[in-house]
Amino acid sequence: MTRSATERVAELVRHAGILRSRDLGAIPRQYLRLAEGQGKVTRIARGLYVATDADVTEHHDLALAAKRVPHGVVCLLSALRFHELTTQMPFEVWLAIHPKARLPYWHFHEKQDYSRNHAAHYADGKVVPLRGSTRRPLKRVK
């Protein structure tokens, strides 16, 4: 027995946890909307979907930010809270983005101008593995 396209979409969403609409591959995006209409998936933000029965965890906002900005790295207070090194709860997700990377567009946040420094990936000028690859430092962290 073959599964319908909406069942395949629901299975992809359950497997991914949070699915971007562009990650469907060869499945047309209309089936994502149909699965949403049937109650199999829930749209949580523009282009982001989760399974209807998915549990929301403490780190749900970090997962959303990671899906929205795949080239970003969680840093500062957000990283400290994730590793339970502080009791402060950040009201924003802090991401480090390479200076030459495209800035993400957040349609629900006001535009904020932050210093974009890639040195957050390096400690004391030493190479730190990043997502399975190693990169050379751009400048020494003081």
Please write the tens of the pLDDT for every residue from 70-126.
888 888 898 889 888 999 988 888 888 888 888 777 654 444 444 444 444 444 445
Do 64 and 45 touch, CB atoms closer than 8 A? yes
| pTM score of the predicted model | 0.67
CA 129/CA 18 separation, integer angstroms: 25
Instruction: Return the closest-CA partner of residue 45 out of 20, 22, 25, 28.
Output: 20
Strands 73-74 and 95-96: antiparallel
Please write the tens of the pLDDT for every residue from 48-60.
999 998 888 888 8
